[in-house]
């Protein structure tokens, strides 16, 4: 069941459906609105499939991809193999990740957040701390 507040935010894109897949770096699932998925596929379509690394990447990235729709009650039916991949048990966390939604087992999510807490200051500086950036977002 998608939380009511998220269901409201997704209402405009829900009519087109979603793509759900395994995450690349974490044991979670990624839910893409169809428009976002299409943008990503357009970008991946530019890769040369005669390059073995590109071909292997495309195959692995799209492994287990499924289309899903949110029903009128705000439920998403997550395929069992994807649930097993993410180790999702009774409790889960639905987390916004800019233009996609991550779906986690609650314990795995909390562990990932705890593990990253120690290195987050260094990561934030490396990713967002470009000396030439004058916006100073903080």
Spatial separation of the C-alpha atoms in residues 18 and 31, rounded to whole Å? 6
Mean pLDDT of the chain: 89
Average pLDDT over residues 59-83: 93
pLDDT of residue 33: 95
| Tens of pLDDT, residues 88-129 | 999 999 998 889 999 999 999 999 988 877 788 888 888 888
| All structural domains of the chain with their residue ranges | 4-105
pLDDT class for 78, splitting at 50, 70, 90? Answer: very high
The answer to whether residues 19 and 37 touch, using CB atoms and an 8 Å cutoff, is yes
Average pLDDT over residues 36-56: 96
- CATH fold label, 4-105: Chemotaxis protein chec (3.40.1550)
């Amino acid at each position: 069941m998608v939380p009511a507040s998220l269901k409201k935010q997704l209402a405009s894109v829900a009519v087109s459906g979603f793509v759900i897949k395994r995450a690349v770096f974490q044991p979670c699932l990624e839910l893409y609105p169809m428009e976002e998925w299409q943008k990503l596929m357009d970008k991946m379509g530019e890769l040369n499939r005669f390059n073995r690394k590109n071909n292997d990447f495309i195959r692995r990235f799209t492994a287990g991809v499924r289309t899903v729709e949110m029903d009128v009650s705000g439920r998403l039916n997550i395929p069992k193999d994807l649930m097993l991949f993410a180790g999702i048990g009774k409790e889960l966390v639905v987390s916004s990740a800019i233009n996609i939604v991550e779906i986690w087992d609650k314990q795995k999510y909390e562990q990932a957040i705890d593990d990253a807490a120690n290195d987050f200051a260094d990561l934030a500086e490396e990713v967002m701390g470009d000396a030439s950036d004058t916006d100073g977002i903080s």
